[in-house]
């Protein structure tokens, strides 16, 4: 899924794409690329999870662990690190949907799995790491 697909295209009250917060998210993810990849590999190498998930948000959030604070970094998005296991434990992903999530999970060495939280809702995006 592309970041643009998170917006409800049928809603006439949506801002034009140029004003979308997802444009700033893409910019921040590119900027944070190396840091996120490093944390992802650490999660996997330490055996914490084979399925790291990063949560991008602009509000207060009590899921995962804060790794990049938008206030400290003068960016528009904060990033928390989490895992599939925490998402299931906290009932963000229903246990019956865990296998479907695993089957759709992309190579964590090539893509960051980002749970994007915006006022319109939340969804998963697989964003490629920069080469």
pLDDT band at residue 53 using 50, 70 and 90 as cut-offs: very high
The pTM assigned to this predicted structure is 0.82
Size of the chain, expressed as the number of residues it contains: 131
CB 51 within 8 A of CB 102: yes
d(CA 36, CA 30): 10
Find the radius of gyration of the CA atoms of the chain: 14
Res 16: pLDDT: 44
Mapped to the 3 state alphabet, what secondary structure does the chain carry? Answer: CCHHHHCCCCCCCCCCHHHCHHHHHHHHHHHHHHHHHHHHHHHHHCCCCCCEEEEEECCCCCCCEEEECHHHHCCCCEEEEEEHHHHHHCCCCCHHHHHHHHHHCCCCCCEEEEEEEECCEEEEEEEECCC
% residues pLDDT > 90 (the chain):
64
Closest to 55 in 3D by CA, of 34, 74, 29:
29
pLDDT of 2 > 80? The answer is: no
Find the mean pLDDT for residues 55-69.
Answer: 91
């Amino acid at each position: 899924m592309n970041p643009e697909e998170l917006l409800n295209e049928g809603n006439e009250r949506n801002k034009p794409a140029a004003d979308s917060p997802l444009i700033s998210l893409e910019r921040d993810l590119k900027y944070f690329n190396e840091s996120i990849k490093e944390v992802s590999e650490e999660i996997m190498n330490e055996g914490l999870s084979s399925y790291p998930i990063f949560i991008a948000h602009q509000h207060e959030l009590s899921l995962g662990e804060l790794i990049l604070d938008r206030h400290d970094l003068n960016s528009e998005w904060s990033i928390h690190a989490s895992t599939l296991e925490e998402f299931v434990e906290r009932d963000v992903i229903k246990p019956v949907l865990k296998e479907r999530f695993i089957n759709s999970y992309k190579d964590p060495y090539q893509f960051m799995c980002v749970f994007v939280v915006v006022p319109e809702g939340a969804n998963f995006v697989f964003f490629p790491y920069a080469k």
